[in-house]
Amino acid sequence: MSWSKLKKKLESYLCPALYGRVEYSASSYRYLPDKSGLCYITVDRKNVLNMSDKTNIIKWYLNEQEIKNDSTIQIPINIEEIETVKKESNGIIPEDRLQVIARGRKLSEYAKELLSAQSSLSKSNFVIVANKFLSTSIEESIESNDILLNVLALVDRRLGKKRILNMSEKMKLKHPIVQYFYELRLSTL
């Protein structure tokens, strides 16, 4: 499917309140084979999400330590995770440190997921993911670990008010750009 057709199809799925505010754009360099082009999503004419084949411009976090030290990231820790740490340490770690260790492990996993997701964003990937979004259900797109599928689903008109309000806890564990689009969609309710 050509870019113009794909763009029209994606824009036809935008929720009415975001139509004209959220735009999909792409540029490519026809005569420069080493320049593969850009794809980006703008909100209110501001470039919010860049995707580039060569450089992967998106850099919300520079490394795992920044993510671990970011106090705004709230990761829920359950009792099983604390018990796992306790069993692995043979019970020699004080109770108050168990939660800190479990949180550190979970943040480490979160950081790895974020960095791998960021490195996979590209124009060619956007076209593939957009076509996948058009052929899958809204539920699959929301539950996916793919940033682009989440973003496309959040701005979709098929996503109802009740479902948006019920997914606030899930959104805390998602990538910051997904959280941004979630807040944008909440502002339209």
pLDDT category at 184 given cuts 50, 70, 90 is: very high
Virtual torsion, Cα 85, 113, 67, 176, nearest 10 deg: -130
Compute the distance between CA of residue 183 and CA of residue 189 in angstroms, rounded to an integer: 10
Domain residue ranges of the chain, discontinuous segments joined by +:
3-58+121-186, 64-113
Which pLDDT tens digit goes with each residue over 7-47? Answer: 899 999 999 999 889 998 877 655 555 455 667 788 888 88
Task: Write down the pLDDT at residue 152.
Answer: 92
Task: Write down the pLDDT at residue 156.
Answer: 93
Which pLDDT tens digit goes with each residue over 133-168? Answer: 999 999 999 988 888 889 999 999 998 889 999 998
Q: By the 8 A CB rule, do 136 and 148 touch?
A: no
Q: What is the mean pLDDT of residues 67-95?
A: 81
Instruction: Identify which has the larger pLDDT, 174 or 67.
Output: 174
User: H or E segment at 4?
Assistant: helix 3-12
Task: Write down the pLDDT at residue 60.
Answer: 44
Instruction: Identify which has the larger pLDDT, 32 or 188.
Output: 188
Q: Fill in the amino acid letter for 65.
A: Q
Compute the distance between CA of residue 58 and CA of residue 49 in angstroms, rounded to an integer: 7
Give me the chain's average pLDDT, please. 79
pLDDT category at 59 given cuts 50, 70, 90 is: very low
Task: Write down the pLDDT at residue 64.
Answer: 65
Q: What is the mean pLDDT of residues 70-89?
A: 82
Residue 53: pLDDT over 60: no
Q: What is the mean pLDDT of residues 57-65?
A: 52
